[in-house]
Chains A and B, each alone.
Chain A
Amino acid sequence: MKKPDRSLSLLGWPAFLWFLIFLIGPLLLVLMTSFFKRGLYGGIDWQFSFQSYVRIFNAIYFDIFWKSLKLSFLTTALCLLIGFPMAWAMATATTTRRVVYVFLLSIPFLMNLIIRVFAIRLFVGYDGPLVQLLTWLHVDFDHYVMTQNQILVLYGMVTSYLPFMVFPIYTALEKFDFSLIEANADLGGNSMDALFKILIPNTRQAIANGCLLVFVPTLGEFVIPDLLGGAKNMLAGNLITEQFLKSRDWPFGAALSVVLTIILCALAYGISAWGKPHQEKED
């Protein structure tokens, strides 16, 4: 290998400084802000206080956090429930088909989120195709219920974040030794045995990665609940955004985001810990 050169290390400074100034600086600022008081006209009053953190335990805010957590859990669970069979099907398709499936799944998710949400809204909205289908089938329902509600938020979340679950599992299954499945069939096991006794235990790491990739962005999601949920279905992301852009209570918003980040880190740690020990036992 080539001997590393000291003078080349000059090149590292711009990116390093950029990260320090525009990543670490801002994050530390948020942490600091959360311990100050709100200024009279918004902004920050430089007085140390815990009041923002105390406020979080107010029932309303606590409730919003709890609702967001539940929704993120539900989204992750649904993504796993739908995503695993999808990944399994994709991994056992022919080689050319596999490429096509990956491509088809990645296009919508590389597209602008706003546009995807807009399309969903048109699809389920007043006089959209879903409503027409239901009318045609003579299903009784309230026409306005479809425009903004929690089910819709859940639907939007699942369709938006599903690829994040499918891709890690798919890559793991793609390299999986499928002779184990054949052995299972030879020994009289059915497809449920294959799923629960072979595939899932052997892809724990990938499942954990997928859950992380879905859970982290959904907990802070702002656009989907904002456009599909309406004002009644406020989630943590909307609450935080409101503090910064509308009520201009930055210390409270900062405290909320610190709490959000801590929850995320704790859960991320838990999920990845779940993915790991099993493999060590096997080794």
Chain B
Amino acid sequence: MEKHRPRAPAWCFAILFIVLILLYFPLFYMMAGSLVEKTTDELRLTLRWYQDIMSDRELQDALVRSLIVAVCNGLLSTILGASAAITIMRSRFRFKRSLQTLSTISLVMPELVFALSLLSWFFILKLQLSLLTVIIAHVSFSLSFTLLVIMSRLSSLDFSIEEAAQDLGASSWVILRKITLPLLRPALGTAFILAFLLSFDDFLITFFTGGVGSDTLPIKLYASMKIGHTPKLNALSTLMILFSISFIIILARSKSFKDLLSSSSESAQRE
């Protein structure tokens, strides 16, 4: 049972509601705009803008590129993050601490500096900017997130099962394959979705590290916003929002994500 909490003064609630309205109203207004056709004297409901999107080859290509990048990034950063998390939590890796420091650096680095440093790096390495460089850049910033998710799940796993297996003579690789990884499966899923979402929504890093012909959806959106507003943009944004929200809901329901939130707030308290 929770202790009684005296409610905050009414003006605090007023601010909360005003902010929520200010956050959501523009979004709903935009979504409504995607369903409306404006002629000189009347507003008409229409699905025209959605049909426009469906028949737009360029947008479809951008969507495919976005998905390719997001899936590759999800897979790579989950695999790298999982192996790094297992090393940190379960082994005597010499650079354990440095690995954690590196991941913290990538978390707190301003996104802009991250993006431009990678741009100059690819230039020096003479890597042609392409989808490949975009994927590499995305993995570099998603990796620390997947690492965190999987680490927090590992720390809440019951050690005694692995201990029992070890007492019965299982090698650490067998334990990893037969016990730890199966137990980690939900966390791996969460990490994948998180990395997927980070990559799918990313603008700035793609903007810097993408080359000609590697435009993802957010880049296309930005480019067309620079030119001007059309209801087609409303429709595209609405679709992207719905897509992201469905993934966010999956994330919010997953246990490992809740673990991560509670563990991070606890560590913030402890500091």
Interface residues of A (CB under 8 A from B): 1-9, 11-12, 14-16, 18-20, 22-27, 29-30, 33, 43, 82, 85-86, 88-93, 95, 101, 103-108, 110-116, 118-123, 125, 128-129, 159, 162, 168, 171-172, 175, 177-179, 181-182, 185, 191, 205-206, 209, 216-217, 219-223, 227, 237, 240-241, 244-245, 250, 253-254, 257, 260-261, 264, 268
Contacts and interface: CB of A to CB of B under 8 A. Distances in A.
Contacts of B136: 22
Q: Which of A8, A129, A245, A268 has the most CB of B within 10 A?
A: A8
A240 B115 CA distance: 11
Nearest to B92: A4
B162 interface: yes
Given A26-B120, A223-B203, A92 B86 contact: no
Interface in B222-258: 222, 225-226, 229, 233-234, 237, 240-241, 244-245, 248, 252
B197 interface: yes
Nearest to B81: A15
Return the 10 tightest CB-CB contacts between A and B, nearest first.
A12-B87, A15-B84, A26-B117, A9-B93, A220-B110, A8-B91, A123-B26, A26-B121, A5-B172, A85-B12
Majority secondary structure of chain B interface residues (helix, strand, loop or mixed): helix
Main SS of chain A's interface residues?
helix
B52 to A, nearest CB: 17
B117 A8 contact: no
Interface size class of B (residues with CB under 8 A): 35 or more
Interface stretch (B54-62, B98-106, B184-192): B98-106
A68 B98 CA distance: 33
Interface of B: 2-9, 11-13, 15-16, 19-20, 22-27, 29-30, 33, 80-81, 83-84, 86-88, 90-96, 98-99, 102-103, 105-106, 108-113, 116-121, 123-124, 136-137, 139-140, 143, 147, 159, 162-163, 166, 172-173, 176, 197, 201, 203-204, 208, 218, 221-222, 225-226, 229, 233-234, 237, 240-241, 244-245, 248, 252, 265, 268-269, 271
Given A9-B91, A11-B91, A111-B244, A129 B29 contact: yes
